[in-house]
Chains A and B, each alone.
Chain A
Amino acid sequence: MNWVGANLDLVVELTLTHARLSIVPILVGFVVAVPLGVFAWRFRWARGVTLTVVGLLYTIPSLALFVLLPPIIGISFLSELNVTIALSIYAVALMTRSATEALESVDPAVRGAANAMGYSGWGRFWAVDLPLAGPVLLAGLRVVSVSTVSLVTVGVLVGSRNLGYLFMNGLQRGIVAEIATGIVMTVLIAVAFDLLLALVGRLAMPWTQGAGGGRRSRRVARRIALTEGPT
């Protein structure tokens, strides 16, 4: 506790930077992956290729990606962009799979009913498919958010300044409290983001509270919350 008191400014500064570094990949993940997911869902031929590529991407260990990415895209090895882009790649990879599964979790009978009511093509997509895919999309986004916040810490090894700094500095100086502070703050950011996303989900999809929402989409959402995650 003494350590925290003496270094409060540093902890606050690193926490804010850490949160800032996490936001861009999470947003990019959502914005890029939903169209990709739609693409994989609409065109059967695209599904296999897309899902295989994203599956391979998040097989890559994070530190290896941080090292391999700069020469591939031609940026400086220590650039802050490096960590942002690498984590965006993971976010997109993870979210594309969730988005595809989200759209597939929509009950075909509902889709049939929408067709029967005269919806077609994109009209049906915006009014029926996308809202009903919402709960699974949200489950995917929450996984992306938590894992991104945690993965940012590895960036310290390639020069990114974030809460991971407390881990390496604490290790060198032998201060357990410093590392513990880093872990606690990382988890707190993850929890704060998670609660925020849950709240946004609730506001955007009021029908998911209580008994609403399909059984099937709830099952898929739970499976994503259980099993997905980059390394």
Chain B
Amino acid sequence: MTRILALAVSALMAVAAPSAMAADGKALVESNKCGSCHKMVGPSAQTIAEVMKRKAPDLFYAGSKFNKDWLVKYIQSPTTLRAGGVVYLNSISLNGEADVVKDPPKCASKLSAGDAAAVADYLMTLKDASMKTGVFKPGKVKKARARVVMMKDEACNACHVFPGKGGGISCPTFEGIGERLNPDWMYSFIQDPKHWDPKVWMAKRDFDDATLQLMVNFLMTAD
């Protein structure tokens, strides 16, 4: 009888654990004042004036955008993903006639492994319900073809750094992007960046599914 009771209690705890952890994560997000830099509630900035006030990426759809394992690591020890800053216009200064980037502010988060896991659990609950999931089809990575599309035809490297190849710095680096981002989100963002950020400084192209799959498959292996 005692054994059955213990089993029942364990089973109940297992079921309750995710929501308890999510609640802890939410409390940690609040106590660490993540919302002072990140938007934790949508919508994204609707005007350029609002964009200029952005201090850090929007997190109200973090659960759609990020991979949880990466979040857990990043929250413990943030690195620079946008060499030009979150809003590059706020990080540039003139050196003669040329713009240069002055040190963009870094995320101050330095949580313990346990707290980072709880925060990541909470962030993963923040989703955009309208995003289609299961869209990305993992396949053979055609690196040469993808490089032609992304570096020659579309010149994504004008604004993004390609691992080992360099690139522009006004947008996030592609280094480690496969570990960082949910491939379904990548697909959705490339397809319609305005859906996620109405004032995003990335052009919207009309890519077909095959091209989107080619690019996302390539990005998933970019490290």
Bound pair (A, B): no
B contacts, CB < 8 Å to A? none
